[in-house]
Structure 1
Amino acid sequence: MSATLDAPLPSAEQIAQVRVPTTRRYLMCRPEYFTVEYSINPWMDPSCAVDTRVAVEQWTALKETYEALGHKVELIDPEPGLPDMVFAANSGTVIDGVVLGSRFRAEQRAAEADHFRRWFLRNGYRDVTMPTSINEAEGDFAWTGTVLLAGTGFRTDPGAHAEAQEVLGVPFVSLRLVDPRYYHLDTALFVLDDRSARPEICYYPDAFSAGSQRVLRRLFPDAVLATAADAECLGLNGVSDGHNVVLPVEATALGSRLADRGYQPVYVDISELRKSGGGPKCCTMELRD
């Protein structure tokens, strides 16, 4: 779009004309062993009953939604004893075919990283680096197409940001999270359009420190701002292909605002997976080859 920062925003009709979906490739893991047997974030309550069958049904519907939108879904086999392996986004960041793996803060999830490393090697990736700093991958890394937005504050160490720049060869901007409910960047921010000259994001300002809010306003003055209600249903854990935006079914108010910008909201039920603090994006690692 050619509008300057001082010009009025284009109308929804004008924006809608330029929203073009692009085919994506995702890596997912069936929640065959999903349960909540420990607590490593405020969403997790081991005393709350979990229905693994329902979790599998919801995950399957998410996978089929991606496929119906024209995207390719690759699968990694789940492993017994790793109930959070379904949240594939936390186990790797892939940009231009270069892979930076993960190193989890919680010991309960540590073994997941090597399962994903082996998947990458078995599937033809040769430039695979495992991090030295605590790094929870796309949980805290959001690629805008021009810069890597990198979260810290609860999981990923700040040192992992510079390590990602060195390994992936892309610039980063550090953002500090301050609300423990939004412990990963992908619970507070997601990228709407990473294929245009002017990337677009959606985020919940109160999840970030005052300084990080100023940074986001400077970099993305036209961002879609989410409300507390949007964040509380994990509405910011969305997945966009540049036109279609997959959101939790409760995030209808956010979906309406995105529709006003020319995006097409696509709703999925992730209520069972949310018991572990996960949503559509948590289940979805993008393979950017």
Structure 2
Amino acid sequence: MTERPLYLMTDPGCFDVCYQINPWMKPDAWKADPSACLTAAKTASGELKQALQGLGAQVETIGAVQGLPDLVFPANAAIVLDGRALPARFRYPERQGEEAIFREVFCRLKTRGLIDEIVDLPEGVFQEGAGDAIWDADRSFFWAGHGPRSSRASLSVIHKVFGQEVVGLELASDRYYHLDTCFCPLAGGKVLYYPAAFTADALATIRARVPEHLRIEASDEEAQAFCVNAVNLGQRIVMARAPDSLKAKLAGAGYSLTEVDLSPFILSGGAAYCMTLRLDRKSRPERAILAAE
């Protein structure tokens, strides 16, 4: 039996852009017509869910919570690998209310057998989930962002909890505040990334780990369209509306795109990857095979 990827999403019924904790957030644009913006957000979220399901994925959807608009970005809820979840600790007070909600979600998932274990971060360590800890299946390690949101100290915690190599990448700008906004490992070993988001040392690390022929560099326009914040399923990539230049790059590299208009969520600084959390990711292929049988 072929494994069907399992993703977590959040109902967008309480989504709003009412504060600004990253430079992309545009509360004034939302306030201009909140009803139309919310309707568009509901449509966009539904289309993303349908796109994932159309590619064979399963989607678990949790309910919205009034006053926690960024709950729609569950990529930041936790790191999940091999059935083990490490729930996030958020740096900004505006998102800290999500921690208890997501913990309840993971407890329910554990009761249902969808995850096996929940491990807590040490006190004082900020780590904002899979948005800053991206599993590279081809290389069998985590790429872990740190700087604007997640603490450098989180790297050693991730290594200890999951028993996997962790390659740290320092982010250079609060415009690309999570790693998932500027870095996306793709099936087959290629990596889509935005070089300007990284410090010189982080760029050197990427280039040392990923040969030039496997690196796909996003332009300013492509990164600003939140196209690097994508969900990869084999040779298919689900992302926000992409410039023609990026479509050509990815087609030339052998990938097919499914585009979704995610502009309501880009008003808050997130897109396809931010809006999903993979729950069934395995560190070794044989584990995935066993899970699918």
Normalised by the length of structure 2, the TM-score is: 0.87
How high is the sequence identity, in percent, across the aligned residues?
A: 34
The CA deviation at 1:288 is 2.4
Name the structure 2 match of 1:269.
261
The correspondence for 1:246, drawn from 215, 225, 238, is 238
Contact 1:147 1:170 in 2 (8 A): yes
Name the structure 2 match of 1:236.
228
CA distance in structure 2 between the partners assigned to 1:192 and 1:255 by the alignment: 15
The CA deviation at 1:22 is 6.7
Range that drifts further, 252-261 or 202-211: 252-261
CA distance in structure 2 between the partners assigned to 1:255 and 1:98 by the alignment: 35
Change (3 A) 1:252 1:285: farther
Instruction: Specify the code of the residue in structure 2 equivalent to 1:129.
Output: V
Q: Post-superposition, which runs of at least 4 consecutive aligned residues in structure 1 deviate over 3 A?
A: none
CA distance in structure 2 between the partners assigned to 1:57 and 1:37 by the alignment: 20
Aligned partner of residue 84 in structure 1, secondary structure: helix
The correspondence for 1:122, drawn from 108, 121, 131, is 108
Change (3 A) 1:218 1:107: same
- The unaligned stretches of length 5 or more in structure 1 are 1-20
Change (3 A) 1:264 1:28: same
The correspondence for 2:26, drawn from 42, 45, 59, is 45
Instruction: Specify the code of the residue in structure 1 equivalent to 2:57.
Output: H
Instruction: Specify the code of the residue in structure 2 equivalent to 1:208.
Output: F
Change (3 A) 1:252 1:239: farther
Name the structure 2 match of 1:54.
40
Aligned partner of residue 276 in structure 1, secondary structure: coil
Change (3 A) 1:201 1:97: same
Name the structure 2 match of 1:216.
206
Instruction: Kindly indicate whether residue 170 of structure 2 is the aligned counterpart of residue 206 of structure 1.
Output: no
Instruction: Specify the code of the residue in structure 2 equivalent to 1:281.
Output: Y
CA distance in structure 1 between the partners assigned to 2:89 and 2:243 by the alignment: 31
Spell out the pairing of 1:96-115 with structure 2 (5 A cutoff).
96-115=82-101
Instruction: Specify the code of the residue in structure 2 equivalent to 1:48.
Output: A
CA distance in structure 2 between the partners assigned to 1:31 and 1:147 by the alignment: 32
Residue deviations 1:210-250, cap 9 Å, x none?
11111101111122111111101111101101211011113
| Residue correspondences, number | 265
Name the structure 2 match of 1:169.
163
Aligned partner of residue 143 in structure 2, secondary structure: strand
The CA deviation at 1:209 is 0.5
Instruction: Specify the code of the residue in structure 1 equivalent to 2:11.
Output: R
CA distance in structure 2 between the partners assigned to 1:82 and 1:34 by the alignment: 8
CA distance in structure 2 between the partners assigned to 1:257 and 1:242 by the alignment: 17
CA distance in structure 1 between the partners assigned to 2:247 and 2:232 by the alignment: 12
CA distance in structure 2 between the partners assigned to 1:134 and 1:108 by the alignment: 14
Residue deviations 1:41-70, cap 9 Å, x none?
001122222411110110000001000111
CA distance in structure 2 between the partners assigned to 1:110 and 1:126 by the alignment: 24
Instruction: Specify the code of the residue in structure 2 equivalent to 1:212.
Output: A
Name the structure 2 match of 1:92.
78
Instruction: Kindly indicate whether residue 181 of structure 2 is the aligned counterpart of residue 178 of structure 1.
Output: no
Instruction: Kindly indicate whether residue 128 of structure 2 is the aligned counterpart of residue 136 of structure 1.
Output: yes
The correspondence for 1:160, drawn from 151, 154, 170, is 154
The correspondence for 2:274, drawn from 256, 265, 282, is 282
Instruction: Specify the code of the residue in structure 2 equivalent to 1:74.
Output: E
The CA deviation at 1:200 is 2.5
CA distance in structure 2 between the partners assigned to 1:58 and 1:73 by the alignment: 15
- The unaligned stretches of length 5 or more in structure 2 are 282-293
Instruction: Kindly indicate whether residue 73 of structure 2 is the aligned counterpart of residue 81 of structure 1.
Output: no
* Structure showing the higher helix proportion among its residues: 2
CA distance in structure 2 between the partners assigned to 1:253 and 1:23 by the alignment: 31
Residue deviations 1:59-105, cap 9 Å, x none?
00000100011100011111111011000100011111111110000
Instruction: Name the Cα RMSD after superposition.
Output: 1.4
Instruction: Specify the code of the residue in structure 1 equivalent to 2:171.
Output: L
Aligned partner of residue 246 in structure 1, secondary structure: strand
Change (3 A) 1:286 1:251: farther
Instruction: Specify the code of the residue in structure 2 equivalent to 1:76.
Output: I
Instruction: Specify the code of the residue in structure 1 equivalent to 2:77.
Output: S
The CA deviation at 1:166 is 0.8
CA distance in structure 2 between the partners assigned to 1:119 and 1:247 by the alignment: 26
